[in-house]
């Protein structure tokens, strides 16, 4: 198993609290968790926490984030209200809605930090404890968030670049499925920095999978020297497999992020490996940290981000991951 060689992931104290999985359905509008909303295990007053992400339609990655958040909410006697929008300005409006709803805490992703800055700072100034997750490792502190839970995307990209070089890759195509996302740019940037060969980027319309398939295929037909396609999300890696076939290319596929279908693809050798940022942890820790802060004044991380990755999943360890992926938590 390949492991990144810098800054080992921190297992925080909140992980000592029991994890229990639950699920609900995604959606753009704010939704309260419907899985036993009153069934908390904590003997603390009921509180309301909003989680606001940049989840685009159809991206299964966020189902895993939500399951972690819902598990923490069930344990902590929290009413979890989830909302999402991939547009930074609209996501900021969702933060304002949470402020207007007088929530007890906010967990937010910062994929577009400049667009989010005003709303997040307003929440903080209004006395609403706010934590960041998943995206915004370079922005959460200047926006006033208490903590950050996620992967160092530049480090993850560098780790992937070193691995590709060690495997003998010569020409990598990095596929970005959301223009303007600081996290995705950091992944490709880190990869290019650490990889000793040639790196190209291609931007695709992530909400249109037929277009993603044809765009990658066209790039592979245009340049036969590409020997690795690196996707930045599991659904796009699975689509890239089709693109490779369409182009008659011999390029191998690797990816960032996991979902149950990706576990099978790694097991069967279709996808070389996946860089897992453990999204269940991100959702769980974001909610649980707000509960800890509200009930006991705890702040995790010592002023630094709490990394949940990168963690490589390949044939050597995918069997251990599969049992959890089958229930939708990896």
Note whether residue 318 is domain-resident.
no
245 and 281 in contact (C-beta within 8 Å)?
Answer: no
Q: Does the pLDDT of residue 153 top 70, yes or no?
A: yes
The mean pLDDT of 190-218, rounded to a whole number, is 96
Higher model confidence: residue 97 or residue 33?
97
Same domain, 143 and 286: yes
Q: Does the pLDDT of residue 19 top 70, yes or no?
A: no
Note whether residue 322 is domain-resident.
no
pTM score:
0.80
The mean pLDDT of 162-186, rounded to a whole number, is 94
**Three-state SS sequence of the chain:** CCCCCCCCCCCCHHHHCCCCCCCCCCCCCCEECCCCCCCCCCCCCCEEEEEEECCCCCCCHHHHHHHHHHHHHHHHCEEEEEEECCCHHHHHHHHHHHHHCCCCEEEECCCCHHHHHHHHHHHHHCCCCEEEECCCCCCCCCCCCCCEEECCHHHHHHHHHHHHHHCCCCEEEEEECCCCCHHHHHHHHHHHHHCCCEEEEEECCCCCHHHHHHHHHHHHHHCCCCCEEEECCHHHHHHHHHHHHHHCCCCEEEEECCCHHHHHHHHCCCEEEEEECCHHHHHHHHHHHHHHHHHHCCCCCCCCCEECCCEEECCCCHHHHHHHHCCCCC
List the Cα angle 215/60/206 in 5-degree steps.
25
Return d(Cα 243, Cα 239) in angstroms, integer: 6
The whole-number pLDDT of residue 36 equals: 42
pLDDT class of 181 with cuts at 50, 70, 90: confident
Domains identified in the chain, total number? 2
pLDDT class of 209 with cuts at 50, 70, 90: very high
Cross-strand bridge partners of residue 276: 311
Note whether residue 178 is domain-resident.
yes
Q: Does the pLDDT of residue 12 top 90, yes or no?
A: no
Same domain, 237 and 282: no
User: Domain containing 59: what range?
Assistant: 13-151+278-311
Same domain, 144 and 210: no
Same domain, 126 and 48: yes
Percent of the chain with pLDDT over 70: 88
Return d(Cα 100, Cα 228) in angstroms, integer: 48
pLDDT class of 15 with cuts at 50, 70, 90: very low
Q: Does the pLDDT of residue 33 top 60, yes or no?
A: no
Q: Does the pLDDT of residue 123 top 60, yes or no?
A: yes
Q: Does the pLDDT of residue 38 top 80, yes or no?
A: no
Same domain, 96 and 119: yes
Same domain, 140 and 282: yes
The whole-number pLDDT of residue 11 equals: 38
Note whether residue 75 is domain-resident.
yes
pLDDT class of 41 with cuts at 50, 70, 90: confident
Return d(Cα 93, Cα 72) in angstroms, integer: 25
Return d(Cα 233, Cα 231) in angstroms, integer: 6
Q: Are strands 271-276 and 228-231 parallel, antiparallel or unpaired?
A: unpaired
Q: Does the pLDDT of residue 196 top 50, yes or no?
A: yes
Return d(Cα 294, Cα 287) in angstroms, integer: 11
Same domain, 27 and 133: yes
| The two three-digit tokens of residue 219, written as one number | 């790039």
Higher model confidence: residue 61 or residue 141?
141
Percent of the chain with pLDDT over 90: 79
Residue that terminates a domain, selected from 231, 258, 276: 276
Note whether residue 327 is domain-resident.
no
Note whether residue 208 is domain-resident.
yes
The whole-number pLDDT of residue 244 equals: 98
Q: Does the pLDDT of residue 275 top 50, yes or no?
A: yes
CATH assignment at residue 34: 3.40.50.2300
Q: What are phi and psi of 311, to 5 degrees?
A: -140, 120
The whole-number pLDDT of residue 179 equals: 86
Same domain, 22 and 132: yes
The mean pLDDT of 165-171, rounded to a whole number, is 98
Same domain, 130 and 170: no
pLDDT class of 326 with cuts at 50, 70, 90: confident
Query: What is the per-residue pLDDT across 59-115, written as a single tens digit (0 to 9) for each?
Result: 888 999 999 999 999 999 999 999 999 999 999 999 999 999 999 999 999 999 999
User: Average model confidence (pLDDT) for the chain?
Assistant: 89
Q: Does the pLDDT of residue 131 top 50, yes or no?
A: yes
Q: Which of 236, 111, 267 has the alpha carbon at shortest distance from 173?
A: 236
Same domain, 298 and 263: no
Q: Is the peptide bond before 310 cis (omega within 30 degrees of 0)?
A: yes
The whole-number pLDDT of residue 323 equals: 87
Note whether residue 297 is domain-resident.
yes
pLDDT class of 3 with cuts at 50, 70, 90: very low
Same domain, 270 and 293: no
* Alpha carbon separation from 222 to 218, 240, 244 (Å, rounded): 6, 15, 12
Note whether residue 206 is domain-resident.
yes
Buried b (16+ CB within 10 A) or exposed e, 215-225: bbbebbeeeee
Same domain, 47 and 127: yes
């Amino acid at each position: 198993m390949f492991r990144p060689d810098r800054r080992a992931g921190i297992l925080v104290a909140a992980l000592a609290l029991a994890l229990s999985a639950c699920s609900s359905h995604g959606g753009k509008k704010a939704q309260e968790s419907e899985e036993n909303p009153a069934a908390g295990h904590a003997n603390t007053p009921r509180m309301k926490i909003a989680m606001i992400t940049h989840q685009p339609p159809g991206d299964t990655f966020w189902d895993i984030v939500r399951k972690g958040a819902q598990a923490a909410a069930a344990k902590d006697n929290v009413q979890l209200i989830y909302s999402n929008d991939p547009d930074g300005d609209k996501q900021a409006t969702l933060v304002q809605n949470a402020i207007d709803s007088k929530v007890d805490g906010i967990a937010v992703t910062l994929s577009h930090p400049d667009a989010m800055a005003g709303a997040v700072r307003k929440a903080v100034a209004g006395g609403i404890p706010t934590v960041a997750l998943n995206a915004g490792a370079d922005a959460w502190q200047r926006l006033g968030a208490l903590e950050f839970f996620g992967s160092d995307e530049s480090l993850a990209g560098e780790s992937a670049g070193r691995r590709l070089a060690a495997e003998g890759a010569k020409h990598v195509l990095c596929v970005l499925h959301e223009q303007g996302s600081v996290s995705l740019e950091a992944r490709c940037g880190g990869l290019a920095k650490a990889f000793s060969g040639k790196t190209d980027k291609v931007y695709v319309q992530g909400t249109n999978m037929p277009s993603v398939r044809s765009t990658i295929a066209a790039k592979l037909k245009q340049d036969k020297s590409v020997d690795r396609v690196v996707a930045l999300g599991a659904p796009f890696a699975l689509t890239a497999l089709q693109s490779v076939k369409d182009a008659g290319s011999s390029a191998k596929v690797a990816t960032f992020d996991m979902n149950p279908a990706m576990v099978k693809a790694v097991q069967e050798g279709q996808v070389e490996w996946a860089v897992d940022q453990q999204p269940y942890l991100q959702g769980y820790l974001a909610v649980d940290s707000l509960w800890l802060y509200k009930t006991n004044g705890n702040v995790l991380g010592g002023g630094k981000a709490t990394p949940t990755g990168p963690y490589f999943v390949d044939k050597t360890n995918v069997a251990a991951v599969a049992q959890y992926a089958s229930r939708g938590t990896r």
